[in-house]
Amino acid sequence: MRIIRAKDYSDMSRKAAGIISAQVILKPDSVLGLATGGTPIGTYQRLIEMNKNGDVDFSNCRTVNLDEYAGLGPEDPQSYRSFMNENLFHHINIDMANTYVPDGKNIDSEGECRRYDGILKKMGTVDLQLLGIGVNGHIAFNEPAKSFSKGTQKVTLTQDTIESNKRFFEKAEDVPRYAYSMGIKSIFSAKRILLIAAGKEKAKILCRSFTGEIEPAVPASVLQMHSELIVIADKDAMSELINVAPELVENAH
């Protein structure tokens, strides 16, 4: 586990984009696991710039996204498919046919979970999985639970998550209550995981996830066991962890 402190959001984004672009330069046909939310937007902006400058070529990459709101179709502006199209895919030279997001409109939830797991299996190992972290420690939409999930599941969002995500909607009631989410076992099977976090509201959970017990009540804590985990967090998100375990932080100056 490597924990790297970034100066601020922009520095975190540059560092994360640097790692993703290095992955793609070294292995042009990489399978990238991608995330949505406020945190990766800056990383995606950097990747778009690098792609436009000719520094990184996504034409042979394939991507799988972590999750999607149940009930929202690809054309819905609040869907994660739309998020990915607008914040990354439509601005880089990726083949859209090689980008995968769960189908939120599939009302056969069992079938959708099986279908997405089938896609993941066909893809093979994810080379680099980008992750955010929820204020409750969720990764993808794997909320605190009694056990770690395995495959793709239809999950019920917790109140914490609805509260956090309402900023992307007009009002809290508009936030979907269910989502399709890749399971923890699938996420964990990536060769390398890059978790990014920014802002004071992530300080407590980041500290608990990487210095505390490994337990399904804190889903991100399982990542402590991953041999190729990189955490990049800005000063605010790192503020608690750096006090509790400065020895874990690489540039703890």
Q: Minimal distance in Å, beta carbon 27 to ligand PGA?
A: 25
Residues 33, 102, 134, 219: which binds ligand PGA (CB under 6 A)?
134
91 has catalytic annotation? no
Binding status of residue 33 toward ligand PGA by CB under 6 A: no
Long-range pairs, 90-97, Cβ under 8 A, ≥24:
91/48, 91/51, 91/52, 92/47, 92/48, 92/51, 92/58, 93/51, 93/57, 93/58, 93/59, 94/58, 94/59, 94/61, 94/63, 95/59
Judged by CB under 6 A, the stretch of 51-59, 131-139, 223-231, 243-251 that binds ligand PGA is 131-139
Binding status of residue 17 toward ligand PGA by CB under 6 A: no
Judged by CB under 6 A, the stretch of 129-137, 143-151, 152-160, 223-231 that binds ligand PGA is 129-137
Q: Minimal distance in Å, beta carbon 75 to ligand PGA?
A: 22
Judged by CB under 6 A, the stretch of 37-45, 84-92, 109-117, 181-189 that binds ligand PGA is 37-45
163 has catalytic annotation? no
65 has catalytic annotation? no
Residues 33, 42, 132, 183: which binds ligand PGA (CB under 6 A)?
132
Size of site (CB under 6 A) for ligand PGA = 6
The whole-angstrom separation of Cα 102 and Cα 117 is 10
The whole-angstrom separation of Cα 144 and Cα 139 is 9
136 has catalytic annotation? yes
Distances (CA, A) of 71 to 24, 116, 163, 168, 239: 33, 16, 19, 16, 37
Name the residues annotated as catalytic.
Answer: 67, 136, 138, 143
Residues that bind ligand PGA (CB under 6 A): 37-39, 132-134
